Amino acid sequence: MEAHYDLDKDIAIIMFAVIMAGGSGTRFWPASRERQPKQFLSITGERTLFEDTLARIAPLAPAENTYVVVSRVHEQTTRQMLTGSPARVLVEPAGRNTAACIGLAAAHINREQPDQPIIVLPSDHYVADAARFTLALGAAAEAARSGAIVTVGITPTRPETGYGYIEVGDEWGERSERRFFCVRRFVEKPDRQTALSYLSNGGYLWNSGIFAFTPRTILAELKRCAPKLYAGISEIENAIGKAGYEAVLEKVYSGLESISIDNAVMERTQARMLVAEGDFGWSDVGSWQSVYELRTGEHDADGNLFTGEIVAVDAARNLVRSSGDRAIALLGVSGLVIIDTPDALLVADINRSQDIKQLPGILKSRGRSGAC
Amino acid sequence: MEAHYDLDKDIAIIMFAVIMAGGSGTRFWPASRERQPKQFLSITGERTLFEDTLARIAPLAPAENTYVVVSRVHEQTTRQMLTGSPARVLVEPAGRNTAACIGLAAAHINREQPDQPIIVLPSDHYVADAARFTLALGAAAEAARSGAIVTVGITPTRPETGYGYIEVGDEWGERSERRFFCVRRFVEKPDRQTALSYLSNGGYLWNSGIFAFTPRTILAELKRCAPKLYAGISEIENAIGKAGYEAVLEKVYSGLESISIDNAVMERTQARMLVAEGDFGWSDVGSWQSVYELRTGEHDADGNLFTGEIVAVDAARNLVRSSGDRAIALLGVSGLVIIDTPDALLVADINRSQDIKQLPGILKSRGRSGAC
C-alpha cells in the first residue's frame, strides 16, 4: 500500500477515510427527496456535497482506502457517482445510526490495517477552506495513531443551538504547530442562553462529527462501551470475505442498536479523547437558511440568492432555486425560500427553514407520497 | 323580433347587448396571458368572467341581440365559448379603445333597430347579485329610450383610487321604484385624499363602465363630439352587408382614434346623461387582491384562498392558485399571492397586486416572451 499523505513533518502515513452517506434528509424538501437526499444535491456550489466530500478527502486518503457507507436505496446513485473510482461502497441493510455505521467500516478496515488511522466524516457538510481542512485532518489522523480518539471541534461564530458542543480541557502533548486538547465532555445541543454563555466564556467548540481513530482503538472502545453492538459487528467482521457475508450482514446489522457514536462511545470512553480546533470554515448545512448564509458571496445587490433565472421586482433576501425552464417572477417579497421542482413547489419563510422537515410527512399523510 | 324582457311595469321592450371583450389583461399574469386574458379566466368562480357576463345579460337581451366585440387574437376562443349560441361576434382588426368599439357595435345595431336600447358592458367584471343587476340594467335601458345616455354608478364602499367616479346631480323624471339622477360630471381616478372626501361627503358613485343608449343617440353624439371617429364608423356602417365589408373594416378601423367612450363622448356630450345607482355588488376585478377580497366566503379559517390542493403550515391570508398536479406547500408565509402555472410561477406580496402588470413586459425584455 502506497504512502499517500506527506505531513509537514515529512512523515508519510497511510490513512483511510470513511464517508457516512446514509442520511435521508427531509430538511431540503422539495429539492431533497427520499431517493435524493441532501448529500446528492448541489446546494453549496456546482458539485454535490458528496462530490465535495470526496474531493476534500482525496489528499488525505487514496480512493482505494476510502469507504462510503450508504443505505440500500442510495446504493445505485452512489455507485454511479463513484464510476471509475476504486473507492469501496458498504451498503447498510437498514439505517442504524453512526455507531453501527462506523463499526461496520472499522471492521472492514481492521482486516487490512488495524493500526492505521481512519478519518470518519459525514458526506453532507460544507468546508470553505479545503487546504486547512487537509492540514487539520491530517494532523488529527496522525495523533490518532497514539491510540487516541481525535475529533475536530469548530470555533463557534454564533450562539448556535442546532449543534452539539465539546468542552475543551488541558492541552495535550508537546507543543507543535497543531495543538491538541483533551476533551472534557460532549454536550448535547444547548438552549440559546447556554449557547450564548459558551460563546462568551470560550472553552467550547462545535462538535463537527468528524473523528479520527484506528480500527483497533474504536473497536476496543465499542467492545467496552457498547458490548452488544460490538458483538454484532464482530460477527459481521468474521464473515467478511466469506460466502455467507451478505446473509450475515443482512441478519445481524438490522438487529443492531440504533445509537450515535457520540452516545455509544464518545461520551463514555476511557480512551484518550483529543480535540483539535478546526479553522477551515465549516457548516453542517442544516437548512436552506444555512445555505443562504454560506453563499453570501453569491447574493445579488438585494441579498437574493438565485439559482436559475429569476425576475425580481422589489424582492430582497430571498433564496430561490429554479429547476427547469419555468419563468419565475417575484414581486415585493422578502425573506422567502422558494424551491421550484418539476413536481413540487415550496414557499416558506426562510426563518422557518428548520421546520421544512415536517412537510414530507404531511404530504404523505395526504396521499402525496410521490412528492416526498 | 320577440319582446324579451318584461319590466315590473309590464312594458315589454326589445334590447340589445354589446359585450366588450377586447382586453388583453396583464394584471393576472401568469394566469392571464396574451392569448388568454382575464375575461377568459375562472377567477371569481367556476365559470369564466366572460361566461358570467353572458349569463348575466341573458335575461335582458336575447342571444341573437347580443354582440361580442373581440380582438382578432381572441376570436377563436370567443367563438368556441359561444358554440351553439346565435350571439354575434364583431372582430376588431386592431384594439382602438371603447369609443371605436362601441361605435362599431352601434353601427351594426343601427341597421336593425336604431331606436331600441343597447346595454354596453365590459366582459370581465364581477357582479354578486344577478337579479338586482337585471332590474337596474333593465330600468337603465328603458330610460335610454328617451334619448338619454344612461350609466350605472356603483355606491362606493371604500376610498378606491383605482376607479373613475361620477358626480351625481339632481334627480330626474318622475319618482318611481328606480330613481335616476343627472350626471354632473365624470371624474378621473382620484388620489386617496380626494377619494376619501368623495366617500365621506357622498354624491359620488364609481363609474362602472356600463352604459345604455339607443344607436341613434350614441351615433349622433359620436358625430358631434368625435366627428372624425364618427366618419370612420359611418364608412364602416355603409359597408355592412356588402362584399367589401371586411376590407373597409380592416382599412378604416385601424385608422380610428384610440380613445375611451368616456373621453370621447361622456365628458363632452350635450345629450341628457343620467345615472342610476347600482346596488348589485360590483367589482371590476382589477387585481388578485380584488379576487381575494371578493371571495371571502371561500377563505379557509386562516384567511387563505386556495385553488387546488395546498399544504399550508402556519400560513395565513394567502391567495394560491395551483394548476395541475404539482404538490404545493406553504410554511410560515402570509399575505402572498402565488400563481403556479405549467410554465410560469409568480410569488408576490398581495398588496403589490396592481404592479403585477409590469412583469410580462420585463419577461419579454429578457427573452421570455413564451411566458407572457
Q: Mark whether A310 and A277 lie in a shared domain.
A: no
Nearest CA in chain A to B354: A331
| Per-residue cell: A270 | 476511557
Contact A345 B366 (CB under 8 A): no
- What are the CA-CA distances from residue B301 to residues B95, B305, B348 (Å)? 43, 10, 22
Which of A287, A338, A347 is the mutation pick for testing B, counting most B CBs within 10 A? Answer: A347
Among B259, B283, B307, the domain boundary falls at: B283
Q: What is the 3-state secondary structure (H, E, C) of A161-199?
A: CCCCEEEEEEEECCCCCCCEEEEEEEECCCCHHHHHHHH
Residues of B in Cβ contact (< 8 Å) with A323 = none
Distance, CA of B152 to CA of B138 (rounded, Å)? 11
Query: Does A313 contact chain B (CB < 8 Å)?
Result: yes
pLDDT at position A303 over 70: yes
Instruction: Using a cut of 0.80, tell me whether the model's pTM lies above it.
Output: yes
Residues A171 and A128 in one domain: yes
> Are the beta carbons of A343 and B362 separated by less than 8 Å?
no
A363 contacts on B by Cβ (under 8 Å)? 311, 327, 329
Asked if B62 and B133 touch (Cβ cutoff 8 Å), the reply is: no
Chain B neighbors of A29, CB-CB under 8 A: 329
Q: How far does the CA of residue A50 sit from the closest CA of chain B (Å)? A: 27
What is the distance between the alpha carbons of residues A260 and A122, in angstroms, rounded to a whole number?
13
Q: Is A369 on the interface with B (CB under 8 A)?
A: no
For the question of an ipTM over 0.85, the answer is yes
Is the pLDDT score of A249 beyond 50? yes
Is residue A171 within 8 A of residue A179, CB to CB? The reply is: yes
Cell of A43: 446546494
The distance of A76 to chain B (nearest Cα, Å) reads 26
The nearest CA of chain B is from the CA of A202 a distance in Å of 35
Q: Does B345 touch chain A (CB under 8 A)?
A: yes
Q: How far is B372 from chain A (nearest CA, A)?
A: 10
Residue B133 amino acid letter = F
pLDDT tens digits for B24-80?
778 999 999 988 899 999 999 899 999 999 999 999 999 999 999 999 999 999 999
**Chain B CB within 8 Å of residue A349 CB:** yes
Q: Looking at the predicted structure, is the pLDDT value of residue A254 above 80? A: yes
Per-residue pLDDT of chain B (372 residues; tens, 9 = 90+): 344 444 444 444 689 999 999 877 789 999 999 888 999 999 998 999 999 999 999 999 999 999 999 999 999 999 999 999 999 999 999 999 999 999 999 999 999 999 999 999 999 999 999 999 999 999 999 999 999 999 999 999 999 998 999 999 999 987 667 889 999 999 999 999 999 999 999 999 999 999 999 999 999 999 999 999 999 999 999 999 999 999 999 999 999 999 999 999 998 998 999 999 998 999 999 999 999 999 999 999 999 999 998 999 999 999 999 987 899 999 999 999 999 999 999 999 999 999 999 999 999 999 888 888
Last residue of a domain, one of A284, A299, A322: A284
Q: Do A267 and A312 share a domain, yes or no?
A: no
Handedness of CA A213, A214, A217, A221 (dihedral sign): positive
Same domain membership, residue A265 and residue A168: yes
Q: Which domain, by its residues, includes B167?
A: 5-283
Whether residues B326 and A349 touch (CB distance < 8 A) is answered with no
Structural domain count, chain A: 2
CATH number, domain with residue A70:
3.90.550.10
Residues of chain A in contact with residue B30, where contact means CB-CB under 8 angstroms, are 327, 329
Tell me, what's the pLDDT at A2?
41
Question: Measured between alpha carbons, how far is A65 from A21 in angstroms, rounded to an integer?
Answer: 16
Judgement on whether residues B208 and B356 belong to the same structural domain of the protein: no
Give the whole-angstrom CA distance, residue A284 versus residue A43: 12
Q: Can you say how many angstroms the Cα of residue B26 is from the centroid of all Cα atoms in its chain?
A: 15
Question: B-chain residues within 8 Å CB-CB of A349?
Answer: 331-333
pLDDT band at A369 (very low <50, low <70, confident <90, very high): confident
User: Which chain A residue's Cα is nearest to B353?
Assistant: A331
Residues B94 and B145 reside in one and the same domain: yes
Interface of B with A in 20-49 (CB under 8 A): 29-30
Task: Report which residue type is found at A308.
Answer: G
A315 close to B355: Cβ distance less than 8 angstroms? no
Contact A329, B359 (CB under 8 A): yes
Distances (CA, A) of B165 to B181, B246, B275: 14, 37, 11
Handedness of CA A178, A181, A186, A191 (dihedral sign): negative
Q: For residue B142, how far is the Cα from the chain centroid?
A: 21
Dig out the grid coordinates for A149 from the structure. 480518539
Taken in order A238, A240, A243, A246, is the CA torsion positive or negative? positive
Grid cell at residue A289? 437558511
Find the farthest-apart pair of alpha carbons in chain A and give their distance in angstroms, rounded. 65
Alpha-carbon distances of B25 from B29, B30, B90, B295, B359, rounded to whole Å: 8, 11, 19, 20, 12
Q: How far is B17 from chain A (nearest CA, A)?
A: 39
> In sequence order, what are the residues at sequence separation of 6 or more whose Cβ sits closer than 8 angstroms to the Cβ of residue A253?
A92, A93, A94, A96, A100, A104, A232, A236
**Residue B331 DSSP one-character state:** E
Listed by number, the residues of chain A in 272-291 with a beta carbon closer than 8 Å to a beta carbon of chain B are none
Pairwise CB contact (< 8 Å): B30 & A327? yes
Strand spans (E) along A4-54: 5-6, 12-13, 16-20
Same domain assignment for residues A181 and A318? no
Q: Let me know whether A279 and A307 are in one domain.
A: no
What secondary structure letter does DSSP report for A330?
E
pLDDT score of B124? 95
Identify which of B234, B220, B218 has the alpha carbon closest to the alpha carbon of residue B99. Answer: B218
How far is residue A41's CA from residue A49's CA, in Å, rounded to a whole number?
Answer: 6
Average pLDDT, chain A: 93
Partner B contacted by A323 (CB < 8 A):
no
pLDDT at A10: 41
From chain A, the residues in CB contact with B31 under 8 A are none
The whole-number pLDDT of residue B372 equals: 85
Please give the DSSP secondary-structure letter assigned to residue B125. Answer: -
In terms of domains, do A97 and A242 share one?
yes
* Same domain (yes/no): B258, B320: no
- Tell me whether B308 touches chain A (CB under 8 Å): no
Strand partners, A350: none
Among residues A254, A284, A314, the one where a domain terminates is: A284
All residues of chain B having their beta carbon less than 8 Å from the beta carbon of residue A313 are 355, 358-359, 362
For residues B264 and B221, give the distance between their C-alpha atoms in angstroms, rounded to a whole number. Answer: 9
HSE of A313 in the Cβ direction (CA atoms, 13 Å)? Answer: 19
CB contact under 8 A, B352 and A359: no
The CA-based angle B296-B302-B303, given to 5 degrees, is 20
Q: pLDDT at residue A65 above 90? A: yes
Position A40, amino acid: F
Would you call B371 and A344 a contact, using CB atoms and an 8 Å cutoff? no
At A175, the pLDDT band (50, 70, 90 cuts) reads low
pLDDT confidence of residue B371: 86
* Total CB pairs under 8 A between chain A and B: 126
Identify the band that residue A13 occupies on the pLDDT scale cut at 50, 70 and 90: low
Residues of A within 8 A of B363 (CB-CB) are 311, 327, 329
By residue count, chain A amounts to 372
Half-sphere exposure in the Cβ direction for B201 (13 Å, CA): 10
What H or E segment, with its residue span, contains residue B184? Answer: strand B180-187
Same domain, residue pair A308 and A256: no
Sheet with B310-313, edge to edge strand ranges:
A305-307, A319-322, A336-340, A344-349, B327-331, B310-313
Nearest to B356 by CA among B265, B286, B256, B296: B286
* Residue B193 in contact with partner chain A when CB distance is under 8 A: no
Partner A contacted by B338 (CB < 8 A): yes
The per-residue b/e assignment along B300-331, b for 16 or more CB within 10 angstroms, e otherwise, is eeeebbbbeebbbbebbebbbbbeeebbbbbb
Nearest-5° angle of CA A38, CA A44, CA A50?
A: 50
Write the DSSP string, A80-142.
HHTTT---EEEEESS--HHHHHHHHHHHHHHTT-TTS-EEEEESS-EES-HHHHHHHHHHHHH
Rounded mean pLDDT of A198-211?
95
Amino acid, res. A256: L
Q: At B248, which helix (H) or strand (E)?
A: helix B245-254
d(CA A360, CA A364): 6
The C-alpha cell 422578502 sits at A334
Question: Both A88 and A188 in a single domain?
Answer: yes
| pLDDT higher than threshold 50 for residue A11 | no
- Contact state of A331 with B356 under an 8 Å Cβ cutoff: yes
Q: Based on C-alpha coordinates, what's the Rg of chain B?
A: 21
Distance CA B152, CA B140 (A): 8
